[in-house]
Structure formats: structure tokens, C-alpha cells
Chain A
Amino acid sequence: MSDQQVLFQLSAHSLELGGHTVLDAVSLSIRAGEKVALLGPSGAGKTTLLNQLYQQCPEQIALQPQGGGLVDLLSVYQNVFIGALDRVGTCAALWNLVRPLRTHRDAITKLTETLGLETKLWHSLDRLSGGQRQRVAIGRALYRQQPVFLGDEPVSSVDPLQAQMLLDYLLQQHETAVVSLHNRRLALEHFDRIIVMRDGRICCDRAATELDSEALDAFYQESSSPESEQPAPSETGWAITAS
């Protein structure tokens, strides 16, 4: 493996946002062909790290940001098609908004069958559940047809069985993958390298075979802090206050 080309390289990289240190002297190198899982509690800097990696070679990457970067008004088909925009001419792309292009229609229909979305192909996104939306986001990443996949909690909202299957498929379709996860078991079973982050630092970077569930749990317990989860103010409806 070591003869593969280095794709991502960070050496003692730090980043401050709004007075907070979000990345603290992170050093890291990822080669083509590696499948890396990124673990750590919320607020540890996983999303920031993924964004830093994305900027290193954006033209080779299929990115699946948190929330999927979906466009609510467009249909499932169009949302997946967005992945192919750089392979289609401008006029054809605009025409596709009016009338789907035949070749893409066939390919995307097939893809949505894999994703279990075939009945929703022409639904607009705002009519879908969280799990369905996430599968659309995966569909777009797959349809980008790039060698590298960067995913930020790509399967967090789908049911466990489907999560296994989709993750397998994603890893099989991409030569290289860096994926942040909160499910430790998925990380151990599907990836060959695991990086654990805490407070903007890398506190563990080892081959998956060298780790087990308990070893990983230890990293979480040390750092679990009460302020890490904060409810969004608009979500506190009166029902909560009243109870």
C-alpha cells in the first residue's frame, strides 16, 4: 500500500474559528486506496477536518456533507443528477430541468433501485423522510463517480441493516474513502484505518485490526462533557416547557 500516491497531507495543522481552536496541531497523511473511519464525540472537529481535506483536491472528491446538501424543491432524480453536472453540457443540463435526459434517467432509475428509492424518483425532496433524504445524498455522491469519497455521517439516519449495506456499497464504489461515523461497530467492521478525534486533536490513528469496541469506548468516556450537546432554541416548543 505504501507505494500509493499521498492524497491528503496535513502537518501540525491548526485552525481557529470565532476564538475557538477547532483543529489543534493535526498531522495526518492519507494515501490513495485507504478506507478511513473518523470517530469522536460531537464537536471534536470531524466536520472541520473533512472540510480541510476536501479543499486539498476538490476535483477528485464526491463529498457528502452533513444534511446531504440537498435541494428541497427538486425531485429525487434531479438531486441525484446534480452529481453528473460536470459531465453534461450547459444546454443539456438546463433542458434536463424541463425534461430528464434519457441516458441519465435510465442510470439514475437503476441507482435508486439499489438505494430503495425507486418509488420516490419523481417526488420532491421536502416530501421525504430523514432516512430517504440521506439515501438521496448517497445517490448523488455515487453519481459523482469520483475516486475519492468524503462523507460526514453519511448513514446516520438510515436503519442499521441498510446502513451496513449502503456503507459497503459506497466503499466498494470508491477507491479511497474518509468517513466520519458515530457508530463504532460500523467503523471496526468496514474500514481498515480508524482515526479518533477529541477537542480538535487526533488522539488515536491506528489500523482497525489493532482496535476493538472497548478500546474505542475509552476515548469517548474520557472526553464526554455536558456542554457538548445544545438544543437548538427554536426546537424548545411549549410542550417541553410544560412537561
Chain B
Amino acid sequence: MITTPYFRLRSSVRTLNRVCFALVVAAALSLLWADLAVYPVDPWHELARIGRGVILPAWDEPRVLAESLGQTVAFALLAVVLAVPLGLLLAMLFHWRAVRYFCAAIRSVHELFWGLIFMQLYGLSATTGLLAILVPFTGVFAKVFAEIFEQQAHAPGQTLSPSLGTLKRYAYTLIPQSWSALLSYIRYRFECALRSSAILGFIGLPTLGFHLETAFKQGQYSEAGALLWAFVLLIATIRFWMKPVLLPFYIGLAIWLLPETVGFSNGGYLWQFVSVDIWPEPLRDAQWGAALQWYTTMFTDQVWPGLIQTLLLTQIALVLTAVVVLATYPFATRVLGGPLVRWPGRFLLLILRSTPEMVLAFVFLLLFGPSGLPAVLALALHNGGLIAFLVANASDAEAGGRVSRPDDPKGLLRYAYIETPRRFPAMLAFLFYRWEVILRESAIMGILGITTLGFYIDSAFEEIRYDRAFLLIAVTAILNILVDATSRRLRLMAHADTARR
């Protein structure tokens, strides 16, 4: 159908600007209340040690390193291999409201928290690790697959009999139509799964994070450096070793590499967990007054203050992420960076997105002292590096294509007049997707003494108070779902979708 692009463009730019303006104003308002104090510190001794460790990595047990690398990949690979078909099935049913809510609920809980929950049920085991990645990833796959399907042309579907079953319809039209989009998204999520798998080491699974956390905690920075480099290398080389032909072989290898479960036998614990542990005692005893009292106290002491802190941090981190993206992506593109700058630029983005936020947050804590500032910086750099990488890739994919002209301006002018306007809608879309993620991640910054929701959730697990943990996780999940819905609305309003609509 013929549209009038000029009119559309003008109106969509106006909405786009309005949405961006609203976000910046919200972040500026958050600055007024957010706790971003800078404390005088004396970090150079410790920072020098960290620097030495990163420059001179050392690891004297290659076997342990290889094993944990292997297990990091094994968890990620198996979880993705299982989550993709499940996500696909749910995406086909995404027109059911119940399915949409279910997916929103399972993806709104951070992998670490899923890990902590499944650990109550399955102990420290391969099952726990797999489920911790598998469950939220299934929710994410379902949502994104459904969105990809929505963007496909309707014509092929129209040539089918209207009474055709869903499975056949998808197998012959929507899935092959969107095949390359699905594959590239799965590839991207596999990288995310590797990060999640590494991070799960923080709670005890035998992946890279296990050793990284220990090395960092004990101040053994050259070991931490070696682990970080190993992880960066793993991420950087994915496209060289992750060949579809080798997938069956890798799956077999991954199953063989899974850690064995030691001594876990109590399977009857599930019922106890869902029926007793996660409910406050007064509620279980049907003392309604006391139960109300319990919830009120929780709300005023933890839920409300945690909610405010989380939202303030998220809002600032979101806008700062956009700044990081705009500042870094040109260095990693073919047309703006050029051959000399592009590889260092890509390397910088690789480092930013491969370094866990916790590590970044710790370095900034040493630099600026304890406040929201290290958290905001860590979140913005990590997520900014990730989005800038995706934006730069999109630019490279277009370089030399139909839309480029030999008389295009160069350098800064090209950045301002050609590349940034072209990338902006997609960048905004990525940013909105990451909003949810930033929200989830801002919850894990307890070391900074910032009482986000995640701080209280972590405390509840430490104190073995699953009733509190459950309530707080539920609140976080609801908040996530709200943010998700808001970001979807804003995305539609700003026409930020990369596809036509």
C-alpha cells in the first residue's frame, strides 16, 4: 500500500522527540532524589593491583579453567537448546492473554533469583543451573519470537485455507518467513546465556563466575584477570566455533560436561516449599490480622523504599546508557570508525559487555565511594556497550548497500546527519528492551549499600526468610511487567520498531 512517507516521518520524529524528552526529564527529576554522593577515597593502591592483575593475568591450574569454561558453555547451550522450542510453542499461543502474562512473569525474575529459588528445590545441581537460565529465557524467546512473527508479511498466510491448524500454518509460512531473524536473535541470546551462565557461578554453580567471584573477593586480581580474559575470548570467538553443523556434537559434549549432582536425594521438598516456606506464618495459621500486619510492615520497611530506589536508579541508568551508546557506537562502525579505529572500538564494546556489572560496580565503588553512582555507571557502561555493539552491527550491515552514496558527508557530519538518524529508532527499541533488564540488574547492587529491591531479596535469602523473598520477588516481577508494558507503548508511540508497521 502506498503511504505518504514525508508526512509519516515528520510526525514520527515529533513523537520520538517527545518520548525522549520525557525520559530525560524523568531522569533529571530522579537525580534530585537519587543518592549519588561522591566520597573522598584513596583507591590507587587497590586499583593498581587490579590493573596489574588485568595486564598480567595468571592461572596456574589450566584444568580447572578449562573445566569451568566448558561448564559455562554447557549450561548456556543446553538451556538455549531447550528454551528455543518452548519459546517457539508459547510464541504461537501468544494471542492468549494467559500465555502473555505467564511469559511476562517468568522473564521478569532475574536468573540469579531463579537460581536461588531452584536451589531450594534441586540443591546445587545441574538441574538448578539449567532451569535458572531456561525458565526466564523461555519467556524472553516467546515474547521476541511473537514480535518477529507479527512483523512478517500477511500475504503468505492468506493463501492458506483459513481453517488450517496453527502448527502447520507456522511451520510453512511464519517460521520460514522469519527464519533469518529468528536465527540471528537466537545467536544473540546464546551470547546472553553465556553471560547468565557465568554469573550463576556467583551463587555456587561451577561456572566461570564461581572462580571469578572468589578471586575477586580474595583480591587475587591476576586470577580474576585471567578469568575475565578467558570469558572475553570465549564471547569474541563465538562465531568461529559455534557452527550449526557441530551443534549435535556440542550438545553431546555439553551433557557429558554437566557437573554431577552430589548427594541430593530429597525430592519431596517441592511441596513444602510452595505450600509452607514462601508464605508468612500468620497467613498459614489463618490469623488475618497478624498477616495484614506482616504485609504492612514489609511494605513500609522494604517494598516501598526498595521500589523507589530501584526506579530512581533505573531511570538515570537508562538515560546514561543512551549517552554511552551515542558516544561509543561510531567507533565500532565501518563508515565512521574506519579500519584503524573500528577494531579497537569493537574491542572496547566487547570488554564492556563481557565484564559483569558486579565487577564494574566494584571498581567504581573504589573510585567514588559507596552510593548510587557506581551502580548507575556500571549499569550504563555494561548495557551501553551491549546496545552500541548491536547498533554498530546494524550500521555495518547497511554499509555499502543501496542507501549509501559516494557524496555522503564524512566524519562528524555523517554521524550527525546520516548514521545517528538512521540508527536512532532501532537504538531506542533496543534501549526499551534493555529497560526491563536494567531494572532487574539494578536489583543486585547490595554491595554498594543501596537498598534496592534486590538488596532486600538477597537479604531475605541470606536470612532464610523465603516468605519475604517471595513477596519481594513478586513485587519486582510486577514492576517489571509494568515497565515492559510501558516500554512497549512508548516503542509503538515512537515508531521505534525496526520493522514496518
Which residues on A sit within 8 Å (CB–CB) of B155?
A: 65-69
User: Chain B CB within 10 Å — which of A67, A74, A230, A241 has the most?
Assistant: A74
Task: Say yes or no for B62: interface residue by CB 8 A criterion.
Answer: no
Task: Say yes or no for B402: interface residue by CB 8 A criterion.
Answer: yes
Which residues on B sit within 8 Å (CB–CB) of A58?
A: 161-162
A83 to B159, CA, bound (A): 7
Task: Say yes or no for B267: interface residue by CB 8 A criterion.
Answer: no
Report the minimal beta-carbon distance from B296 to chain A, rounded to whole angstroms.
52
How many residues belonging to B are interface residues under a CB distance threshold of 8 Å? 31
Within B149-182, the residues touching A (CB, 8 Å) are 153, 155-165, 167-169, 171-173, 176-177, 179-180
How many residues belonging to A are interface residues under a CB distance threshold of 8 Å? 41
Task: Say which one of A90-98, A166-174, A195-203 lies at the interface with B.
Answer: A90-98
Task: Say yes or no for A194: interface residue by CB 8 A criterion.
Answer: no
Task: Say which one of B212-220, B357-365, B403-411 lies at the interface with A.
Answer: B403-411
Partner of A72, one of B1, B5, B177, B406: B177
Is the beta-carbon distance between B159 and A64 smaller than 8 angstroms?
yes
A74 to B159, CA, bound (A): 15
Partner of B159, one of A43, A59, A140: A140
A97 to B170, CA, bound (A): 12
Task: Say yes or no for B2: interface residue by CB 8 A criterion.
Answer: yes
Partner of A94, one of B5, B167, B407: B167
Which residues on A sit within 8 Å (CB–CB) of B5?
A: 233
Is the beta-carbon distance between A74 and B172 smaller than 8 angstroms?
yes
Which residues on B sit within 8 Å (CB–CB) of A234?
A: 402-403
Task: Say yes or no for A71: interface residue by CB 8 A criterion.
Answer: yes
Q: How many A-B contacts at CB < 8 Å in the complex?
A: 88
Known: A85-B164, A94-B167, A234-B403. A54 touches B158 (CB 8 A): yes
Closest chain A residue, CB of each to CB of B6:
A233
Is the beta-carbon distance between A69 and B171 smaller than 8 angstroms?
no
Is the beta-carbon distance between B161 and A71 smaller than 8 angstroms?
no
A230 to B5, CA, bound (A): 11
Is the beta-carbon distance between A90 and B159 smaller than 8 angstroms?
no
Is the beta-carbon distance between B176 and A69 smaller than 8 angstroms?
no
Closest chain B residue, CB of each to CB of A22:
B1
Which residues on A sit within 8 Å (CB–CB) of B179?
A: 73
Closest chain A residue, CB of each to CB of B165:
A90
A86 to B168, CA, bound (A): 9
Partner of A70, one of B3, B156, B169, B407: B156
Which residues on A sit within 8 Å (CB–CB) of B177?
A: 71-73
Closest chain B residue, CB of each to CB of A230:
B2
Report the minimal beta-carbon distance from A22 to chain B, rounded to whole angstroms.
9
Report the minimal beta-carbon distance from B1 to chain A, rounded to whole angstroms.
8
Known: A58-B162, A97-B171, A140-B159. A73 touches B176 (CB 8 A): yes
Known: A71-B173, A97-B171, A230-B2. A82 touches B159 (CB 8 A): yes
A235 to B403, CA, bound (A): 9
Report the minimal beta-carbon distance from A80 to chain B, rounded to whole angstroms.
11
Known: A54-B158, A68-B155, A69-B156. A59 touches B163 (CB 8 A): yes
Report the minimal beta-carbon distance from A92 to chain B, rounded to whole angstroms.
10
Is the beta-carbon distance between A82 and B160 smaller than 8 angstroms?
yes
Which residues on A sit within 8 Å (CB–CB) of B171?
A: 93-94, 97
Which residues on A sit within 8 Å (CB–CB) of B173?
A: 71, 82
Which residues on B sit within 8 Å (CB–CB) of A68?
A: 155, 159
A237 to B408, CA, bound (A): 12
Which residues on B sit within 8 Å (CB–CB) of A237?
A: 402
Which residues on A sit within 8 Å (CB–CB) of B163?
A: 59, 86
Closest chain B residue, CB of each to CB of A137:
B159
Report the minimal beta-carbon distance from A7 to chain B, rounded to whole angstroms.
16
Closest chain A residue, CB of each to CB of B405:
A238
Is the beta-carbon distance between A74 and B402 smaller than 8 angstroms?
no
Within A228-243, the residues touching B (CB, 8 Å) are 230, 233-235, 237-238, 241
Report the minimal beta-carbon distance from B69 to chain A, rounded to whole angstroms.
34
Report the minimal beta-carbon distance from B414 to chain A, rounded to whole angstroms.
15
Is the beta-carbon distance between A144 and B161 smaller than 8 angstroms?
yes
Which residues on A sit within 8 Å (CB–CB) of B161?
A: 58-59, 85-86, 144
Closest chain B residue, CB of each to CB of A55:
B162
Report the minimal beta-carbon distance from A97 to chain B, rounded to whole angstroms.
6
Is the beta-carbon distance between A144 and B159 smaller than 8 angstroms?
yes
A234 to B161, CA, bound (A): 34
Task: Say yes or no for A117: interface residue by CB 8 A criterion.
Answer: no
